[in-house]
Amino acid sequence: MSDEQLMTTEQTATDLVSTLTPAEQAQAHEVAAQLDTDQSDSVLTYGADAQKNLSNFSQGVLDQVKNQDLGQIGDALTELMSNLQSTKPDELMPVKQGLFAKMFGKVQKSIYEMTAKYQKVGAQIDQVAARLDNHKDTLLADNKMLDGLYKENLDFFQQLGVYIGGAELKLQEINKTDLPAARAQAEASGSQLDAQKVQDLAQFADRLEKRTNDLKLTRQVAMQQAPQIRLIQSTNQALAEKIQSSVSTAIPLWKNQVTIALTLLKQRNAVAAQRAVSETTNDLLKANSEMLKQSTIETAQENERGVVDIVTLQKTQADLINTIEETMRIQADGRQKRADAQVQMQAMENELKAKLLSMANGVSTEPKNVN
């Protein structure tokens, strides 16, 4: 390792250790003591437990993300919006109907039908709201769990910092103390074993540096997971707030508007009914007034008339005179006919007497004409 690299390593170790708390610095010295230059596998196992725990933790976070079925929440929100939009305020507005529509009885839906429809939609909305409430509770519970994961991830981050600090301290110790001492010993003794000791220390320092770099990469992963966890929590919180807004604001507002609209519809129907009653009453009053007028006029006219009209008297008098004259004529004719009959009967009587006398005398005589 060059002097420049050694200075960089020393500076990094000093900077990293200085950021640790006193308790963490003490832990860094403890884990640094676990690094035995005479044990080749001490570098391999150094910080392995922390890396394994972080790997398991990362898998747990991944499983948590996979288990979040945000599609159901989106479907529920979509269904809620669809139900809210299925009811149109225009349906509650009065409809002007032409003559053709009135002829075929096409009238606006009754208030009972509209109320039933809105009650059905309201029940569907309540069901969706209940499902959304469950989703909201699940999201909030997930966020609490993610708070625990965030803390756990922070613990891993700090634990890895301790291991990295310990490794840097060990590297600083090897580079500043052990290697110079070993080199001096090898140069003084000229022994092959002492020279091998220098090589072993250099190889140990190289492996430890690589191991430290691996731990730093793992620590970086832990650092990145913190905002990822917060991002998941932020998404969950946004969805929970959206659900809360929909359930606590949009739905009550919709119900309030529907209630007002139905109330206004009832009022319009009541006004229309009252108008119909008023118009019918006015029509009846007009008709009765016309009938009263006509009856009064006819009654007054009849009251002003006499019991018998002069025309009727004139007619009856003319008929009476004609009757009397006709009666007198008939009587005169009857008297004339009776007189003529008397003459005829006298002649017949005389003729019969003469005939009887003639027969009595045995003499045939011609009867005399009496006329």
Task: Express each pLDDT in 165-178 by its tens digit.
Answer: 888 888 888 889 88
pLDDT of residue 261: 65
Q: What is the mean pLDDT of the chain?
A: 75
- pLDDT of residue 359 exceeding 70, the answer is yes
pLDDT digit string, tens, across residues 326-354: 888 898 888 898 888 889 989 998 988 88
In a domain? residue 231:
yes
Query: What pLDDT is attached to residue 262?
Result: 66
**Residue-wise over 23-39: b if at least 16 C-beta within 10 A, else e?**
ebbebbeebbeebebee
Instruction: Specify the pLDDT at position 265.
Output: 64
Q: Looking at the domain assignment, is residue 229 inside a domain?
A: yes
Confidence at residue 349, expressed as pLDDT on a 0 to 100 scale: 87
Radius of gyration of the chain measured on its C-alpha atoms: 67
Closest CA to 237 of 153, 144, 149: 144
pLDDT, position 149? 82
* Site of tokens 């948590």: 64
Is 276 a domain residue?
no
Cα(368)–Cα(371) distance, integer angstroms: 9
Which of 108-112, 118-122, 271-275, 326-330 is most confident?
Answer: 326-330
Would you state the pLDDT for residue 32? 81
**What is the domain range of residue 229?**
16-91+105-252
The per-residue pLDDT for range 55-80, each reduced to its tens digit, is 676 666 666 655 555 556 556 556 65
Side chain identity at 152, as an amino acid letter? E
- Of 246 and 202, the structure prediction assigns the larger pLDDT to 202
Q: Is the pLDDT of residue 86 over 70?
A: no
Does residue 11 lie in a domain region? no
CB 46 within 8 A of CB 58: no
Residue 219 counted as domain residue: yes
With a pLDDT cut of 70, the percent of the chain lying above it is 67
Q: What is the pLDDT of residue 44?
A: 82
* pLDDT surpasses 70 at 134: yes
DSSP code for 190: -
Please check whether residue 61 lies inside any domain of the structure.
yes
Whether the per-residue pLDDT at 27 is higher than 70: the answer is: yes
The confidence band for 204, taking pLDDT boundaries of 50, 70 and 90, is: confident
Provide the angle, in degrees to the nearest 10, between the axes of the packed helices 111-173 and 70-86. 160
Q: What are the C-alpha distances in Å from 45 to residues 40, 48, 121, 209, 215?
A: 10, 5, 64, 14, 12
Domains held by the chain: number:
1
d(CA 207, CA 201): 10
For residue 25, tell me if it sits in a domain: yes
Counting Cα atoms < 13 Å in the Cβ hemisphere of 67 gives 9
Q: What is the pLDDT of residue 126?
A: 75
In 27-103, DSSP assigns E strands to: none
- The per-residue pLDDT for 61 is 60
